[in-house]
Amino acid sequence: MPRKISMIFGASSMLWMLFAVSQAFKIEISPEYKIVAQIGTPISLTCSTTECESPSFSWRTQIDSPLNGKVRNEGSKSTLTMDPVSFENEHSYLCTATCESKKMEKGIQVEIYSFPKDPEIYLSDSVEVGKPVTVTCSVPDVYPFDRLEISLLKGNQNLKTQEFLEEMQTKSLETKSLEVTFIPINEDIGKDLVCQAKLHIEEIDFEPKERETTKKLQVYISPQNTVISVSPSKRLQEGGSVTMTCSSEGLPDPQIFWSRKLDDGNIQRLSGNATLTLIAMRMEDSGIYVCEGVNLVGKQREEVELIVKEKPFTVEVFPGPQISAQIGDSVVLTCAITGCESPSFSWRTQIDSPLSGKVRSEGTKSTLTLNSVSFENEHSYLCTVTCGRKKLEKGIQVELYSFPRDPEIEMSDPLVDGNQATVNCSVPNVYPADRLEIKLLKEGSIMKNKIFLEDVGKKSLESKSLEITFIPSTEDTGKVLVCQAELHIDEMEFELKQRQSTQTLHVNVSPRDTRILVSPSNILEEGSSVNMTCSSDGLPAPKIVWSRKLNNGNLQPLSENTTLTLTSTKTEDSGTYVCEGVNLAGRNRKEVELIIQDTPKDIQLTAFPSESVKEGETVIISCTCGNAPKTWIILKKKAETGDTVLKSTDGAYTIHKAQLEDAGVYECESKNEVGLQLRSLTLDVKGKGNKDYFSPELLVLYCISSLIIPGIGMIIYFARKANMKGSYSLVEAQKSKV
Ligand SMILES: *[C@@H]1O[C@H](CO)[C@@H](O)[C@H](O)[C@H]1NC(C)=O
Ligand SMILES: *[C@@H]1O[C@H](CO)[C@@H](O)[C@H](O)[C@H]1NC(C)=O
Ligand SMILES: *[C@@H]1O[C@H](CO)[C@@H](O)[C@H](O)[C@H]1NC(C)=O
Ligand SMILES: *[C@@H]1O[C@H](CO)[C@@H](O)[C@H](O)[C@H]1NC(C)=O
């Protein structure tokens, strides 16, 4: 093709050479030789002459086809205007100017093209990741299209380049397109689609030879990963609320629509917000809720099923279906309801007896207060709750017991070693008494126990006791006596089903072995002092009480000191002194005889009528002692073979019908523990024959009698010795003297 064009140009320059010979008269044409014009635009060719007054112009095409233009002559100028330029103008135009006889001609080649607009990019569809899309780039009204090259680029990547080299059948403006199909990927987001069109015509000059259109690649992602989260749960209770949040991914960000599937299959729009909160749910609100993520290229839906359950209407009783109450206590029975706004309450006993209590209902709660429960409250109480058309009933069984105090231990007081003692353990105000067991334990081992079956079914408060007798010993001291009372009611629950009291045993020992120590002796000489010390065993240690026994047998208390001291004694102090050991367990006494004596004085021995009597006469030998009635008088008849103690009455011995043998030495001895006096006389009995009788040995004895006096000291010695042993017997002392 370019070769053909140059041949045409070659011919026109030869024509120009032909006319160049004429002088002065000149012809010019502009533009010179050639003009490149785009189809549809106007162009003008101007032919002008110089050195000619009135030239005449004529225009023609080389091949004598119509001009397809308008000629305007004006003086030395002729203009051929082609408006617009079309295929018919693609010629070599010749302008002929005639000046008189001179004729001059000049030619100009009109070359045409068409490349008027930038390429246009079309997309078959929205650009969605993963979905094939066809991009069309079309370049309109191109001529000559066989020089056209179209390239389509995605970012920097060339998708396709095409040249349109097919033979042009006719001269026409053609719109050429390039089509590329590709599958968009995520990386395409933000890239440009570029369509480049190039018209390759090097031999003519025009602008632009290259046109380009850029289109931002608008990539879409259809909603995906649509997820619903439900808080707190898909299962709800009447009146509850739920928050559902839906999310969906896509480009552009999908819009979220919430709707609900109705039973008839229709959809009820709810919200255009991702978060849907439903409050005060009713059972009718159960159903399928749909979330739809929607954007320009698509939609995705997700469903969730909400189940609204009927709020249960429940009645609860407090403290429970059973309550154990102690007689006298206050009891509050509570009936509470959930799941009902405004319930109504009523209370009754199962056997329709009076309530004997106070009812107070407020809101969803009702209480029945039983002040100081008694046997008339031992019922099953029923609480009836009405809520709308629904009705519920719950019962509370009030069970009674009474076990208010610890057992009381009563023990015989004091406990005395070896003496029988009683222990009484009593438990007051018990109910039910037939369940009571009382046990008495000593040091953990059971002494006795008792149950009270005779009280079965008795509706009253009973006081029960258990008694034992036992003989305590000192070893029991410090041991613990426990009284245990147990109310055997397994079916009831309360504190203190067992109560107990304890008592520690203290066993006393009554006073015993009371002893008296007399110092120096219990037989004293008037004016001397004596210490009498008393001791007694027992637990607790006995107290000592000294007293003196009066004549009437009564005791005159003297001292509570262990030692009773008598100083400067007188004979009147003689008597019986009593020491008593006393403690709370008893008393024990010991007596001591105190003898205070004067030495015997003024002893007189006489014979009546005379110391010399005749055989057959009656003679009375009488001995008297001046002091101390206690003085003993012993009347004896001395003999070689041994003394004969005479049976005297008040110191007098009567000899009826004196015999010769009655003659002899008679001796009267007055002695007490502190001294001795002797008197003697010699009785002479004269025989009827006037014969005297005198025993020579009597004389010997008489002489000896004066030696007896020192013997008194001996008696005192014995008395003292006996006293030290704590007792004294005059008879013994006398025996030991002999
Ligand atoms: C969605 O709900 C939130 C929270 O209730 C609210 O702040 C927001 O304005 C709502 N948006 C629309 C579009 O309703
Ligand atoms: C034990 O004590 C109780 C209460 O003091 C009394 O009622 C009961 O008679 C007593 N029992 C005996 C056997 O003394
Ligand atoms: C009696 O006891 C007191 C004090 O122990 C003592 O001084 C006194 O000598 C005692 N008297 C006699 C007679 O033993
Ligand atoms: C008992 O003894 C105390 C001191 O040992 C003495 O002061 C008091 O007088 C005595 N009482 C009698 C009644 O002897």
**pLDDT value at position 367?**
95
DSSP string, 258-292: EEEE-TTS-EEEEESSSEEEE-S--GGG-EEEEEE
721, pLDDT greater than 90: no
| Range 307-331 burial, b when 16+ CB lie within 10 A, else e | ebeebebebebeeeeebbbbbebeb
Indicate whether residue 243 lines ligand 1 (CB < 6 A). Answer: no
The lowest-confidence range among 169-173, 285-289, 347-351 is: 169-173
Torsions phi, psi for 484 (to 5 deg): -115, 130
716, pLDDT greater than 50: no
User: What is the distance between the alpha carbons of residues 475 and 483, in angstroms, rounded to a whole number?
Assistant: 20
Instruction: Give the position of tokens 């210490």.
Output: 531
Asked whether residue 715 falls in the same domain as residue 609, the answer is yes
Output the CA 398–ligand 1 centroid distance in Å. Answer: 57
Output the CA 424–ligand 2 centroid distance in Å. Answer: 6
* Dihedral, 91, 97, 98, 103 alpha carbons, nearest 10: -70
Q: Are 647 and 657 in contact (CB under 8 A)?
A: no
Q: Please state, for a pLDDT cut of 90, what percent of the chain lies above it.
A: 53
Judged by its nearest atom, the ligand closest to the C-alpha of residue 255 is: 1
Closest CA to ligand 1's atom 5: 275
Judged by its nearest atom, the ligand closest to the C-alpha of residue 468 is: 2
Asked whether residue 718 falls in the same domain as residue 619, the answer is yes
**pLDDT value at position 133?**
93
User: What is the distance between the alpha carbons of residues 679 and 605, in angstroms, rounded to a whole number?
Assistant: 6
309, pLDDT greater than 80: yes
Asked whether residue 633 falls in the same domain as residue 701, the answer is yes
At which of 59, 94, 113 does a domain end? 113
What is the biggest distance separating any 2 CA atoms in the chain, rounded to whole angstroms?
A: 271
Output the CA 426–ligand 2 centroid distance in Å. Answer: 7
Which of 408, 423, 467, when mutated, tests ligand 2's pocket best, judged by the most ligand atoms within 8 Å of its CB?
A: 467
Asked whether residue 496 falls in the same domain as residue 529, the answer is no
Output the CA 564–ligand 3 centroid distance in Å. Answer: 10
**pLDDT value at position 698?**
46
Which of 241, 253, 271, 275, when mutated, tests ligand 1's pocket best, judged by the most ligand atoms within 8 Å of its CB?
A: 275
Average confidence score pLDDT of the chain: 85
**pLDDT value at position 20?**
44
Using DSSP's 3-state secondary structure scheme, residue 488 falls into coil
Tell me which residue range forms the domain holding 554.
509-597
Which of 532, 544, 561, when mutated, tests ligand 4's pocket best, judged by the most ligand atoms within 8 Å of its CB?
A: 561
Question: Which numbered atom of ligand 2 lies nearest the CA of 428?
Answer: 4
**pLDDT value at position 23?**
57
Q: Other CB atoms closer than 10 Å to residue 453's CB: what's the count? A: 8
Judged by its nearest atom, the ligand closest to the C-alpha of residue 723 is: 3
Using DSSP's 3-state secondary structure scheme, residue 717 falls into helix
DSSP string, 64-102: -----SEEEEETTEEEEEESS--GGG-SEEEEEEEETTE
Asked whether residue 228 falls in the same domain as residue 277, the answer is yes
**pLDDT value at position 699?**
44
Indicate whether residue 529 lines ligand 3 (CB < 6 A). Answer: yes
Judged by its nearest atom, the ligand closest to the C-alpha of residue 483 is: 2
User: What is the distance between the alpha carbons of residues 701 and 705, in angstroms, rounded to a whole number?
Assistant: 6
Work out how many domains the chain is built from and give that number. Answer: 7
Helix (H) or strand (E) holding 18: helix 2-19
**pLDDT value at position 2?**
39
The CA-atom distances, in angstroms, between 178 and each of 118, 140, 511 are 14, 12, 143
Closest CA to ligand 3's atom 1: 531
Using DSSP's 3-state secondary structure scheme, residue 425 falls into strand
439, pLDDT greater than 80: yes
- Collect all residues with Cβ–Cβ distance below 8 Å to 474 and sequence separation of at least 6: 417, 507, 509, 539
Question: Which numbered atom of ligand 3 lies nearest the CA of 565?
Answer: 1
Mean pLDDT of the 705-722 span: 39
Torsions phi, psi for 698 (to 5 deg): -60, -35
Asked whether residue 256 falls in the same domain as residue 285, the answer is yes
Judged by its nearest atom, the ligand closest to the C-alpha of residue 275 is: 1
Tell me the pLDDT band of 709, cut-offs 50, 70 and 90.
very low
CA contacts within 13 A on the Cβ side of 654: 4
What CATH number has the domain bearing residue 59?
2.60.40.10
Output the CA 463–ligand 2 centroid distance in Å. Answer: 9
Asked whether residue 542 falls in the same domain as residue 496, the answer is no
User: What is the distance between the alpha carbons of residues 724 and 524, in angstroms, rounded to a whole number?
Assistant: 13
The per-residue pLDDT for range 642-686, each reduced to its tens digit, is: 888 888 887 888 999 988 888 899 998 887 777 788 888 999 998
Closest CA to ligand 4's atom 8: 561
Q: Judge whether 10 lies within some domain.
A: no
At which of 504, 532, 552 does a domain end? 504
First to last CA, the chain: 201
Q: Are 119 and 162 in contact (CB under 8 A)?
A: no
User: What is the distance between the alpha carbons of residues 581 and 541, in angstroms, rounded to a whole number?
Assistant: 9
Output the CA 399–ligand 1 centroid distance in Å. Answer: 60
Closest CA to ligand 2's atom 1: 424
Cis peptide before 600 (omega within 30 of 0): no
Helix (H) or strand (E) holding 210: strand 210-216
Closest CA to ligand 3's atom 6: 531
**pLDDT value at position 712?**
40
User: What is the distance between the alpha carbons of residues 542 and 551, in angstroms, rounded to a whole number?
Assistant: 27
Using DSSP's 3-state secondary structure scheme, residue 401 falls into strand
Asked whether residue 556 falls in the same domain as residue 628, the answer is no
Output the CA 242–ligand 4 centroid distance in Å. Answer: 101
**pLDDT value at position 689?**
64
Q: Judge whether 20 lies within some domain.
A: no
Number of residues in the chain: 738
Q: Judge whether 339 lies within some domain.
A: yes
Q: Are 94 and 105 in contact (CB under 8 A)?
A: yes
Mean pLDDT of the 86-115 span: 90
Closest CA to ligand 1's atom 1: 273
**pLDDT value at position 631?**
58
Per the DSSP assignment, residues forming a β-bridge with 402 are: 431
Q: Judge whether 473 lies within some domain.
A: yes
Mean pLDDT of the 8-13 span: 43
Indicate whether residue 272 lines ligand 1 (CB < 6 A). Answer: yes
Mean pLDDT of the 605-624 span: 89
Question: Which residue did the predictor score with more confidence, 694 or 260?
Answer: 260
Give the type of residue at 139: V
User: What is the distance between the alpha carbons of residues 637 and 122, in angstroms, rounded to a whole number?
Assistant: 188
Asked whether residue 432 falls in the same domain as residue 464, the answer is yes
The per-residue pLDDT for range 315-347, each reduced to its tens digit, is: 999 998 999 999 999 999 999 998 888 899 999
Indicate whether residue 424 lines ligand 2 (CB < 6 A). Answer: yes
Asked whether residue 430 falls in the same domain as residue 395, the answer is no
25, pLDDT greater than 90: no
The lowest-confidence range among 5-9, 323-327, 399-403, 679-683 is: 5-9
Question: Which numbered atom of ligand 4 lies nearest the CA of 564?
Answer: 14
Q: Judge whether 544 lies within some domain.
A: yes
Q: Judge whether 18 lies within some domain.
A: no
Rounded to the nearest angstrom, the gap between the alpha carbon of residue 344 and the centroid of all alpha carbons in its chain is 36
Which of 565, 596, 720, when mutated, tests ligand 3's pocket best, judged by the most ligand atoms within 8 Å of its CB?
A: 565
Mean pLDDT of the 291-306 span: 94
Output the CA 330–ligand 1 centroid distance in Å. Answer: 57
Asked whether residue 624 falls in the same domain as residue 717, the answer is yes
Output the CA 578–ligand 3 centroid distance in Å. Answer: 20
Asked whether residue 204 falls in the same domain as residue 226, the answer is no
- Collect all residues with Cβ–Cβ distance below 8 Å to 53 and sequence separation of at least 6: 99
Helix (H) or strand (E) holding 545: strand 543-549
User: What is the distance between the alpha carbons of residues 422 and 425, in angstroms, rounded to a whole number?
Assistant: 10
728, pLDDT greater than 80: no
Indicate whether residue 559 lines ligand 4 (CB < 6 A). Answer: yes
Judged by its nearest atom, the ligand closest to the C-alpha of residue 531 is: 3
Two tokens, residue 469: 């007798």
Q: Judge whether 730 lies within some domain.
A: no
Question: Which numbered atom of ligand 3 lies nearest the CA of 529?
Answer: 13
Per the DSSP assignment, residues forming a β-bridge with 636 are: 645, 667
Closest CA to ligand 1's atom 6: 273
At which of 266, 282, 309 does a domain end? 309
pTM score above 0.75: no
Q: Judge whether 66 lies within some domain.
A: yes
